[in-house]
Structure 1
């Protein structure tokens, strides 16, 4: 199944199964960030915003924050990505 299909599935399941949607969004972010590209960074930021919403709905905000911190550390040498995450309020 392609990333677009997984994304649609996560969106459909987010309201009823936010924890499952969160896991899908985080996997999509990892997949999206495999290739360094500004478009991919913007896509990843949108996926992270969805993941943040799903985490809040599933009462998993602390786990999301930990994952986001680890992701920012992992990609600290990608200033464009970090800037996009900052602009999106993903700190």
Structure 2
């Protein structure tokens, strides 16, 4: 799930996943972090879900995927679209 908070000069996008699906560590990897695994690792929040927030420029588009343990790549179902194997989001 994607949560967006628009700010004056950027948009905060929070990437949210269930607590144990998939199991183990998960990070969001995309063009906004040069596709570097582990840069934006999801961590537990008070409601039990896992999340990470990334500040992105307003009115921009980005490709991303999730990377879980065991080199398991997967997409975001609630993304704004898909570009081949990547999820897409618009801020």
Q: Which has the higher helix share?
A: 1
TM-score normalised by the chain length of structure 2: 0.28
Bigger relative contact order (CA 8 A; separation at least 6): 2
Structure number with higher strand proportion: 2
